[in-house]
């Protein structure tokens, strides 16, 4: 069987790898000049660095499987991380229960309630019972109004902007349940995983393995449209530096965002199109600073102060030592924005000028002279806004066009986007396709972190 795959990110590469593992042909088309999508890299201090910060939780069994499968298991390091919260003009450690007890902006009863509510959510399993509520409706009742307004509301506002009251409680639960699983039974020190050659190296090697097993991977090649005859996908029209051509396939897997998919397949029925267009995406806008000195002692600093125009400061070299990057200190300034937001419309240097004064609030000693280099990255399909009752509205993997399958981050639920879930999604859809064509499928996927995951996207 020969399958065309649109997109060379985590989901597309995982789909292709699963197909070639089963002895079938897979051809990947990636419009960029590199693989890995949001996990792709550039070079800082002689080492590869992700354009957007990446790490693994202990529950990320699918990405761990892939890393080991391609022979990089010995390079996967599990390292302690340090989480903080910027509130009231200072940084508060926020990694362990002891740190929460020291968070004096809340009274002791409020701190205890916030901690117990978090523990409750971590152990809660019936996420479907949460689907009818938004996080902004449910959290104040669960943690208390003052803790909600101090911690969770500013973080939701920072992450989702004007959409923060639309975010479903089931989505929020997924973030808590998975994040705190990496802190162990008693929510002590968190350990996160990182492939020391970078995530980009992992996906480059996956691409090499696909080629070695007879598949193809084409870079700088954009898919212009899916070829459909009598209601069935029969090929792809692609454009590369060599020109436009048509390629025949037995089936097609698209891993593009939902708002891109209708441009490739204009003949979709309204019922399916409504599922695609019913999801809002936020852009990830990232500034990466290469500093002479560290900005803070924290790896992941959440900003619970909405007068600061970014939502998080991820100091990568407080997790992976600066020696790995030639002694450089690397900081990501992270934001999620509507595409029409004024900050999203700013260029690299204009945005840096807006951000610079706020870095002194995080570290009063900071001086712009610390910055040796800075980089700007933007991804317009970074974060879907997942609302209430979403399990009933997920776009199905099996599209109304026979032989055409969709796998993207709007179909990862109740988990959130991430390389782990994209790898799982890609493999799952490839196996679904093989079963649909009556072809044998060997083995099974690693056990997911949330065993009662959603199944409605599997059928049409």
Average pLDDT for runs of 10 along the chain of length 460: 97 98 98 94 95 92 96 95 95 92 97 92 87 96 96 93 94 79 59 95 98 98 97 97 97 97 94 93 96 97 95 97 97 94 94 97 97 95 90 94 96 86 96 97 79 43
Residues 6+ apart with CB under 8 A from 284: 38, 52, 334, 335, 336, 377, 378, 379, 382, 383
Task: Specify the residue for token string 């008693």.
Answer: 186
Residues 6+ apart with CB under 8 A from 235: 4, 226, 227, 246, 247, 248, 249, 252
- Looking at domain 280-385, its CATH class is alpha beta
Task: Specify the residue for token string 């910060």.
Answer: 53
Superfamily of domain 2-77+197-278+388-458 in CATH is FAD/NAD(P)-binding domain (3.50.50.60)
Distance CA 76, CA 366 (A): 33
pLDDT recorded at residue 240: 95
pLDDT recorded at residue 94: 92
Reading the block at residue 87, the tokens are: 């509130």
Residues 6+ apart with CB under 8 A from 437: 1, 250, 251
Distance CA 287, CA 332 (A): 6
Give residue limits of the domains in the chain: 2-77+197-278+388-458, 96-188, 280-385
- Collapse the DSSP code of 84 into the 3-class scheme (helix H, G, I; strand E, B; otherwise coil) and give the result: strand
pLDDT recorded at residue 444: 87
Give the pairing of strands 25-29 and 251-254: unpaired
CA-based nearest residue to 17, from 400, 450, 457, 422 = 422
Distance CA 426, CA 430 (A): 6
Reading the block at residue 161, the tokens are: 């902007």
Give the C-alpha distances (Å, rounded to integers) separating 401 from 238, 261, 404, 452. Answer: 19, 12, 6, 28
Please give the model's pTM, rounded to 2 decimal places: 0.93
pLDDT recorded at residue 450: 56
Distance CA 197, CA 41 (A): 10
């Amino acid at each position: 069987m020969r399958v065309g795959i649109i997109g060379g990110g985590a989901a597309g590469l995982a789909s292709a790898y699963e197909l070639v593992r089963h002895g079938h042909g897979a051809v990947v088309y990636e419009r960029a000049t590199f693989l890995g999508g949001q996990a792709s890299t550039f070079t800082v201090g002689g080492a590869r660095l992700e354009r957007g910060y990446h790490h693994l939780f202990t529950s990320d069994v699918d990405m761990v499987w892939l890393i080991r499968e391609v022979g990089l298991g010995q390079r996967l390091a599990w390292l302690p991380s340090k989480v903080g919260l910027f509130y009231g003009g200072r940084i508060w450690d926020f990694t362990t229960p002891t740190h929460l007890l020291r968070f004096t902006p809340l009274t002791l009863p409020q701190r205890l309630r916030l901690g117990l509510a978090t523990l409750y959510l971590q152990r809660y399993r019936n996420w479907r019972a949460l689907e009818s509520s938004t996080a902004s409706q449910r959290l104040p009742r669960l943690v208390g109004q003052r803790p909600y307004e101090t911690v969770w509301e500013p973080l939701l506002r920072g992450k989702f902007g004007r959409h923060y009251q639309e975010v479903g409680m089931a989505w929020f639960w997924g973030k808590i349940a998975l994040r705190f699983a990496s802190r162990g039974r008693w929510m002590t020190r968190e350990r996160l995983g990182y492939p020391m050659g970078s995530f980009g190296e992992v996906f480059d090697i996956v691409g090499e393995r696909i080629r070695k097993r007879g598949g193809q991977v084409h870079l700088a090649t954009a898919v212009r449209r899916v070829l459909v005859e009598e209601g069935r996908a029969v090929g792809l029209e692609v454009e590369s530096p060599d020109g436009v051509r048509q390629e025949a396939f037995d089936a097609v897997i698209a891993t593009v965002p939902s708002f891109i998919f209708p441009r490739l397949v204009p003949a979709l029925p309204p019922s399916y199109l409504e599922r695609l267009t019913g999801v809002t995406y936020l852009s990830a806008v990232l500034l990466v600073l290469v500093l002479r000195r560290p900005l803070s002692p924290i790896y992941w600093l959440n900003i619970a102060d909405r007068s600061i125009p970014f939502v998080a400061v991820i100091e990568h070299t407080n997790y992976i030592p600066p020696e790995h990057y030639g002694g450089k200190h690397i900081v990501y300034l992270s934001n999620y924005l509507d595409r029409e937001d004024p900050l999203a419309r700013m260029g690299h240097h204009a945005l840096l000028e807006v951000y610079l004064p706020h870095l002194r609030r995080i570290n009063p000693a900071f001086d712009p002279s610390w910055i040796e280099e800075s980089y700007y990255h933007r991804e317009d399909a970074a974060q879907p806004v997942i609302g209430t009752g979403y399990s009933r509205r997920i776009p199905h993997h099996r599209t109304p066009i026979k032989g055409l399958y969709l796998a993207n981050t709007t179909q990862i639920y109740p988990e959130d986007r991430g390389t782990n879930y994209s790898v799982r999604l890609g493999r799952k859809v490839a196996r679904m396709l093989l079963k649909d064509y009556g072809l044998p499928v060997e083995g099974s996927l690693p056990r997911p972190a949330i065993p009662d995951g959603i199944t409605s996207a599997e059928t049409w």
